[in-house]
Amino acid sequence: MEEEEPRSETQDEALQKKHNDMLQRFSARHQARKSDSTSSSSTFESTSSFLSQFADSKRSIESRIADLRLASEDSSKLKSDLAEISSSIDDLEKLVAANSYFLPSYEVRSSLRSASDLKQSLDALSAALLPKKKFSFKTKSSPPSTTTTANPPEIQKRDLAPPPNVVVPVRDSPGFRNKQGETLTKSFRSGEFTLSDLDSCRVRLTGTVNALFIHRLRNCHVYTGPVIGSILIDDVEDCLLVVASHQIRIHRAKRSDFYLRVRSRPIIEDSNGVRFGPYCLDYGGIEQDLKTAGLEEETQSWANVDDFLWLRAVHSPNWSLLPEEERLSSVSISGEGDS
């Protein structure tokens, strides 16, 4: 019996040691988490503190944009100021990303859209202050006589996107304007193109173009080959559009159908009664044109529409997918008619 006592003490000591080790591990984890929390300047302990910081930064950027509108500076200084503001907006997006793990999904979406609106305001301002520069493009546009290559210029995410609820001015570029009841056709390989103030027209555009602008169309059918950059659509009613592009933004559209191939999510604003389906255009050489524009693959992005003015968690009532039985299966513009 006397020999069993040391064994019992050894077992007790082992249990106590395990208990102490466990407490030390918990303490170390707690201290590590506490250290991580206090060392990161972009991480906030609550949603309210994040929103306060975000609002302060947003107001500061808005103030700088407003001040720049009133400033009279040389072009080099303007470029520097615009670049600094753009960098601040990028930092604001990073702030959202760094804290998204604890923020409600609604706040993440709302904050990212606020940052996007700031970017659009900055782009509009840069276009007004430096009208001769392609500020939104990372590379210079090719001269009109240059043949489009298979490697299109890289476009920034906010390229050609105007601020919300702003009437977009018609671009001074080649195009079809002020037509009624006509069939309009054109083939091209580069540059920008504009469709504006058309009523009851059928438009057939083949080939590739760098950017397409569509304004004030009524009861029109528009069929276009792939656009290398972006498409901006503003104020269309009772129209059918079959278009392909890397980015498509739609303002003030009513009772219209869109057949799209697009790399990013289509964006609608101030629109209702719009429906979406897959790109269904066909003409001689379209496969090569799609490859040239980098749009040869179908990504299904046409079905993921983002309504910028609808912030609720439920589906926006302003758009819907075209029922399969109502979709056009193919539209050919190689000949005289559409099928």
| Positions of the chain with pLDDT under 70 | 1-45, 71-75, 100-102, 105, 131-172, 335-339
What are the backbone dihedrals phi and psi of residue 76, each rounded to the nearest 5 degrees, phi first?
Answer: -65, -40
For 175-332, CATH gives 2.160.20.70
What does the domain layout of the chain look like in residue ranges?
Answer: 47-129, 175-332
DSSP letter at 153?
Answer: P
- pLDDT tens-digit readout, 275-334: 999 999 999 999 999 999 999 999 899 999 999 878 777 889 999 999 999 999 999 997
Residue 155 per-residue DSSP state:
B
CATH 3.40.50.2300 assigned to domain 47-129? The reply is no
Q: Supply the pLDDT for residue 156.
A: 37
Q: Is 154 exposed, middle or buried (0-12, 13-18, 19+ CB in 10 A)?
A: exposed
Q: What is the pLDDT of residue 255?
A: 97
| pLDDT of the residue at 145 | 37
Confidence at residue 146, expressed as pLDDT on a 0 to 100 scale? 36
Long-range pairs of 91-95 with CB within 8 A, sequence gap ≥ 24: 91/57, 92/54, 92/57, 92/58, 92/61, 92/118, 94/42, 95/42, 95/53, 95/54, 95/57
